[in-house]
């Protein structure tokens, strides 16, 4: 790797090659992307395997990981925690450097973040692959995994904190040299993302370090499951926004650049990111609507604020919709026809637009989840994975693929392999995730339970849910085809492609003049985050503590 | 900060729609009585035999209301029934039109509780008592399943409730 030392603030700007990457970028960002791809090479394939296991018409055994809940743990942790975190941290380094046109404030710290996170993945991966951590990615106490699982996940989070620090340091160095100038939107959004992530992950860090890790090491003997769930979901909902914001960065800053149009409203984009940052944490009780230790009032309040956090996404729908209208009109579209005058044949753009369409479905089903009394009918049914496969595996993952299709060629220094296959991959994923999400949702309404090995002997699936579970296997098959296409394109780009890369990074290096500076009052936002969470989570945590018997519960092994 | 005219109108519409949704939710709770589990009391799972859960089962409270106390443990619901199904699991019976208050706690790990086709849904945590009420308006057999992963036997953790015609003939 090319050593880039921490530089004084007067250092000259870095010159980035237009179509390829600096060696330092290639190694650092490439390492993160590589681990991310390694994670989903296992994690994605376990998806269709589970759909086949759960379809009443098939009930096939899962290959390699025959214990359903081990496969499910790997699927959740590798896709939703490892892939996402590594991809986001690498992407954030790349975007920060390119947008601010300067090197990271500390390359050593950036590498430290990678090493810490990698060590975490190795530890957690060991526990999961050897079947000593079949606790799913929510790892609810008092069920226990091997201590390496908790330590590993804690290290992934700590590593991401170091990454956040590096991005903030780089931003403050830039800020010193550019007083009075608004930070470019992409960096602004990533800062908001990291601030939210750091605040939220304090919850799970406390849970892991004071409850689960000492418990798994035998240092303490008892724990409080309700409190551990509360700490987990303090983190768990902002986690999904941590995945979402990089996708929004692509929609807000990269899609306009790729189209050669200007974003409809930069100021309202900033408002949207600020709202997500502040309102994504004090709403986590919507995952705990049927928990016994939380009052109905707190549940209603968190439900209300969940509706508020829908606003930035609805703002995004307008802002991006208006931007797409500009693009469609520029491509010869009229008042209505701009909608289909989009670049449907370009996988980089189609992945994002298809992602938005699936995400809209997820937004609507999410509103149902946010509705506290409706939760009686939906909680822990397959409706819920139906929902988050349209948001995470739909909108977010499709956008990440759209990013990967220009980022990977730049990092490798080769053009995207088999572009038509990449386009086919986008549309098969689009179709597959819609079929899967819809069928899981319907099965859930008919009473199918999530996270249940319904293919096992003696397990129950209602007759009304059975056809929908079978249909979800059809969706899984379409997705399996898409996974094969995805890895064909990725491996082809890495090892087969010979041509020079042809797509520049869609990075905007300057904020437009109308960008408001007040949005960068980070002290105020930190204060607001602290206050809202004391108000919204304080009573929940205090009320859930078991005053009768204290921290009492005996832990159980994971099987 | 400049906000486009259309975007301002859109935002007002967004606020109105979300407000309407939330108003519907509040009225579902306050007017139509849809309730969620909320703190019913703490309990020590290691000494359940000194609590009401020492004798799980159904109590007829009169006027078509039944209270059912159930202990969830790996991997069965103990509803205290004498009647068992072919798997040796508990079977509950109530006349159609009954309102049933379910009280649940766990003796070990976290479990779930959901009544098929009815709005009764609880996270069953050791240390807490979860309560959910539902009315059975339809004759038939409904499965009561554990909906939170609780270990190797999770998928087999279910019992049945049989809703019988009011005249007492077999369902």
Question: Pairing between strand B158-164 and B91-95?
Answer: parallel
Secondary structure element (H or E) that encloses residue A117, with its range? helix A107-129
| Residues of chain B neighbouring A556 (CB-CB closer than 8 A) | 74, 108-109, 151
- Residue that terminates a domain, selected from A506, A524, A540: A506
The string of DSSP codes covering A455-469 is TSTT----TTTHHHH
Q: Are B59 and B94 in contact (CB under 8 A)?
A: no
Place of tokens 């998928």: B155
Same domain assignment for residues B60 and B137: yes
Instruction: Decide if A458 and B3 are in contact by the 8 Å CB cutoff.
Output: no
To the query of whether residue A146 is one of the catalytic residues in this protein, the response is no
pLDDT value at A1 more than 50: no
Same domain assignment for residues A274 and A398: no
Instruction: Decide if A304 and B28 are in contact by the 8 Å CB cutoff.
Output: no
In which domain, by residue range, is A139 found? Answer: 19-280
Of A556 and A521, the one with more pLDDT:
A521
Same domain assignment for residues A89 and A226: yes
Instruction: Decide if B36 and A449 are in contact by the 8 Å CB cutoff.
Output: no
Find the mean pLDDT for residues A232-260.
97
Place of tokens 């942790």: A77
pLDDT at A545: 76
The tokens for B32 are 């139509």
Same domain assignment for residues A41 and A177: yes
Find the mean pLDDT for residues A162-169.
98
For residue A75, being part of any structural domain is answered with yes
Confidence of residue B168 (pLDDT cuts 50, 70, 90): low
Task: Determine how many CB atoms are found less than 10 A away from the CB of residue B30.
Answer: 10
Secondary structure element (H or E) that encloses residue A235, with its range? helix A225-249
Instruction: Decide if B125 and A291 are in contact by the 8 Å CB cutoff.
Output: yes
For residue B170, being part of any structural domain is answered with no
Instruction: Decide if B7 and A265 are in contact by the 8 Å CB cutoff.
Output: yes
Residue of A507, A525, A515, A509 whose CA lies nearest to A180: A515
Instruction: Decide if A556 and B37 are in contact by the 8 Å CB cutoff.
Output: no
pLDDT at A220: 86
Task: Looking at the complex, report in whole angstroms how far the Cα of residue B73 sits from the nearest Cα belonging to chain A.
Answer: 12
Size of interface A-B (CB pairs under 8 A): 203
From CA B89, how far away is CA B83, in angstroms rounded? 8
For residue A531, being part of any structural domain is answered with no
Find the mean pLDDT for residues A455-483.
97
The percent of residues in chain A predicted with pLDDT above 70, rounded, is 95
The tokens for A508 are 């905007």
The residue annotated as part of the active site, out of A91, A273, A388, A397, is A388
The tokens for B69 are 């106390």
Q: Are A134 and A73 in contact (CB under 8 A)?
A: yes
The residue annotated as part of the active site, out of A54, A146, A302, A450, is A450
Q: Which of residues 234-293 of A touch B (CB under 8 A)?
A: 264-265, 267-268, 288-293
Please state the φ and ψ torsions of residue A519, each to the nearest 5 degrees: -70, -10
Find the mean pLDDT for residues A114-124.
98
pLDDT at A56: 97
For residue B95, being part of any structural domain is answered with yes
Find the mean pLDDT for residues A444-463.
96
| Residues of chain B neighbouring A211 (CB-CB closer than 8 A) | none
Confidence of residue A519 (pLDDT cuts 50, 70, 90): very high
What ipTM goes with this model?
Answer: 0.95
- Dihedral of CA atoms A124, A127, A130, A134 in degrees, nearest 10, equals -100
Q: Is A419 exposed, middle or buried (0-12, 13-18, 19+ CB in 10 A)?
A: middle
In angstroms, what is the C-alpha Rg of chain B? 20
Same domain assignment for residues B73 and B11: no
To the query of whether residue A75 is one of the catalytic residues in this protein, the response is no
Task: Determine how many CB atoms are found less than 10 A away from the CB of residue A524.
Answer: 12
* CATH number of B135's domain: 2.60.40.420
For residue B22, being part of any structural domain is answered with yes
Query: DSSP H helical segments within A492-521, as ranges?
Result: none
Residue of A361, A87, A125 whose CA lies nearest to A242: A87
Question: Pairing between strand B76-78 and B140-145?
Answer: unpaired
HSE-CB of A124 using CA atoms within 13 angstroms: 27
The residue annotated as part of the active site, out of A241, A242, A259, A273, is A241
Same domain assignment for residues A272 and A355: no
Residue of A285, A269, A275 whose CA lies nearest to A309: A275
Confidence of residue B47 (pLDDT cuts 50, 70, 90): confident
* Count: domains in chain A: 2
Residues A139, A142, A146, A149, CA torsion sign? positive
To the query of whether residue A450 is one of the catalytic residues in this protein, the response is yes
Same domain assignment for residues B79 and B126: yes
For residue A227, being part of any structural domain is answered with yes
Find the mean pLDDT for residues A422-439.
98
The string of DSSP codes covering B4-43 is -HHHHHHHHHHHHHHHHHHHHHHHHHHTS---------B-
Same domain assignment for residues B9 and B28: yes
pLDDT at A206: 95
Find the mean pLDDT for residues A397-408.
98
Query: Which of A296, A379, A559 has the CB atom closest to B35's CB atom?
Result: A296
Same domain assignment for residues B59 and B128: yes
pLDDT at A371: 95
For residue B109, being part of any structural domain is answered with yes
From CA A489, how far away is CA A484, in angstroms rounded? 9
Q: Is B137 exposed, middle or buried (0-12, 13-18, 19+ CB in 10 A)?
A: exposed
pLDDT value at A558 more than 50: no
Same domain assignment for residues B5 and B81: no
For residue B169, being part of any structural domain is answered with no
The helix-helix angle for A296-330 and A522-544 (nearest 10°) equals: 140
Q: Are A120 and A155 in contact (CB under 8 A)?
A: yes
Q: Are B102 and B120 in contact (CB under 8 A)?
A: yes
The helix-helix angle for A107-129 and A23-43 (nearest 10°) equals: 20
Does residue B75 have a cis bond before it (omega within 30 degrees)?
Answer: yes
In which domain, by residue range, is B65 found? Answer: 45-164
Same domain assignment for residues B29 and B100: no
Q: Give first-to-last CA distance, chain B, whole Å.
A: 67
Within an 8 Å CB–CB cutoff, is residue A219 touching chain B? no
Same domain assignment for residues A470 and A371: yes
To the query of whether residue A140 is one of the catalytic residues in this protein, the response is no
Instruction: Decide if B155 and A379 are in contact by the 8 Å CB cutoff.
Output: no
| Residues of chain B neighbouring A311 (CB-CB closer than 8 A) | 11, 14-15, 18
Secondary structure (H, E, C), A326-349: HHHHHCCCCCCHHHCCCCCCCHHH
To the query of whether residue A237 is one of the catalytic residues in this protein, the response is yes
Query: Which of A303, A322, A547 has the CB atom closest to B25's CB atom?
Result: A303
Mean pLDDT (chain A, rounded): 94
The residue annotated as part of the active site, out of A102, A389, A412, A442, is A389
pLDDT in tens, B54-104: 999 999 999 999 999 999 999 999 999 999 999 999 999 999 999 999 999
pLDDT at B171: 44
pLDDT at A4: 53
Same domain assignment for residues B5 and B54: no
Instruction: Decide if A292 and B128 are in contact by the 8 Å CB cutoff.
Output: yes
For residue A376, being part of any structural domain is answered with yes
Place of tokens 């822990």: A380
The string of DSSP codes covering A290-312 is T-TTS-HHHHHHHHHHHHHHHHH
Find the mean pLDDT for residues A486-503.
96
The tokens for B131 are 């309560």
To the query of whether residue A178 is one of the catalytic residues in this protein, the response is no
* Count: domains in chain B: 2
SS3 A146: coil
For the whole model, what pTM was predicted?
Answer: 0.95
pLDDT at B40: 86
Same domain assignment for residues A70 and A191: yes
């Amino acid at each position: 790797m090319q050593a880039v030392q921490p530089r004084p603030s007067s250092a000259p700007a870095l010159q980035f090659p237009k179509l390829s990457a600096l060696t330092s970028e290639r190694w650092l960002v490439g390492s993160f992307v590589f681990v991310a791809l390694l994670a989903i090479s296992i994690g994605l394939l376990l998806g269709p395997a589970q759909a086949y296991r759960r379809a009443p018409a098939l009930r096939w055994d899962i290959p390699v990981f025959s214990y359903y809940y081990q496969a499910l743990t790997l699927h959740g942790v590798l896709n939703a925690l490892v892939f996402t975190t590594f991809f986001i941290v690498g992407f954030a380094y790349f975007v920060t450097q390119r947008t601010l046109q300067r090197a990271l404030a500390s390359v050593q710290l950036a590498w430290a973040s990678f090493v810490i996170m990698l060590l975490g993945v190795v530890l957690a991966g060991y526990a999961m692959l050897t079947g000593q951590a079949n606790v799913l990615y929510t790892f609810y106490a008092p069920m226990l995994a091997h201590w390496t699982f908790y330590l590993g996940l804690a290290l992934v989070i700590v590593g991401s904190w170091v990454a956040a620090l590096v991005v903030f340091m780089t931003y403050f160095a830039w800020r010193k040299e550019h007083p009075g100038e608004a930070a470019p939107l992409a960096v602004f959004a990533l800062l908001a993302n990291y601030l939210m992530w750091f605040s939220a992950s304090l919850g799970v860090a406390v849970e892991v370090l004071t409850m689960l890790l000492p418990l798994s090491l035998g240092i303490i003997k008892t724990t409080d499951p309700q409190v551990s769930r509360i700490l987990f979901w303090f983190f768990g909902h902002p986690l999904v926004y941590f995945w979402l914001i990089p996708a929004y960065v692509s929609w807000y800053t990269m899609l306009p650049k790729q189209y050669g149009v200007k974003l409809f409203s930069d100021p309202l984009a900033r408002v949207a990111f600020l709202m997500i940052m502040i309102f994504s944490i004090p709403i986590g009780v919507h995952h705990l609507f049927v928990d016994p230790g939380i009052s109905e009032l707190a549940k209603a309040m968190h439900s209300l604020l969940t509706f508020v956090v829908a606003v930035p996404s609805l703002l995004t729908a307008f802002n991006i919709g208006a931007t797409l209208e500009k693009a469609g009109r520029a491509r010869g579209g009229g008042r209505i026809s701009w909608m289909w005058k989009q670049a449907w044949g370009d996988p980089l753009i189609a992945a994002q637009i298809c992602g938005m369409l699936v995400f809209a479905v997820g937004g609507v089903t999410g509103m149902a989840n946010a509705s506290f009394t409706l939760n009686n009918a939906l909680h822990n049914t397959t409706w819920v994975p139906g929902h988050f496969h349209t948001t995470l595996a739909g909108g977010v993952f499709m956008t990440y693929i759209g990013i990967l299709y220009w980022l990977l060629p730049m990092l490798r220094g080769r053009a995207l392999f088999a572009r038509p296959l990449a386009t086919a991959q986008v549309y098969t994923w689009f179709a597959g995730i819609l079929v899967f999400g819809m069928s899981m949702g319907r099965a859930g309404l008919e009473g199918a339970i999530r996270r249940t090995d319904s293919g096992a002997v003696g397990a129950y699936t209602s007759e009304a849910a059975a056809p929908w579970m079978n249909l979800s296997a059809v969706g899984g098959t379409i997705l399996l085809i898409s996974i094969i296409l995805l890895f064909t394109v990725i491996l082809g780009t890495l090892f087969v492609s010979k041509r020079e890369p042809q797509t520049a990074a869609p990075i905007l290096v300057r904020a437009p003049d109308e960008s408001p500076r007040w949005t960068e009052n980070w002290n105020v936002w930190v204060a607001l985050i602290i206050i809202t969470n004391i108000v919204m989570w304080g009573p929940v945590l205090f009320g859930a503590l078991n005053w009768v018997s204290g921290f009492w519960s005996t832990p159980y092994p994971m099987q | 900060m400049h906000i486009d005219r259309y975007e301002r109108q859109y935002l007002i519409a967004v606020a109105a729609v979300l407000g309407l949704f939330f108003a519907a939710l509040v009225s579902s709770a306050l007017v139509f009585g849809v309730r969620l589990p909320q703190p019913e009391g703490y309990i020590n799972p290691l000494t359940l035999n000194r609590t009401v859960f020492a004798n799980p089962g159904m109590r007829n409270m009169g006027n078509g209301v039944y209270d059912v106390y159930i202990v969830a443990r790996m991997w069965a619901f103990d509803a205290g029934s004498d009647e068992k199904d072919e798997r040796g699991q508990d079977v509950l019976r109530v006349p159609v039109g009954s309102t049933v208050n379910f009280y649940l706690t766990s003796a070990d790990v976290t479990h779930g509780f959901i009544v098929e086709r009815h709005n009764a849904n609880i996270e069953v945590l050791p240390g807490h008592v979860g309560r959910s009420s539902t009315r059975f308006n339809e004759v038939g057999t409904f499965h009561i399943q554990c909906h939170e992963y609780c270990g190797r036997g999770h998928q087999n953790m279910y019992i049945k409730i049989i809703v019988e015609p009011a005249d007492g003939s077999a369902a």
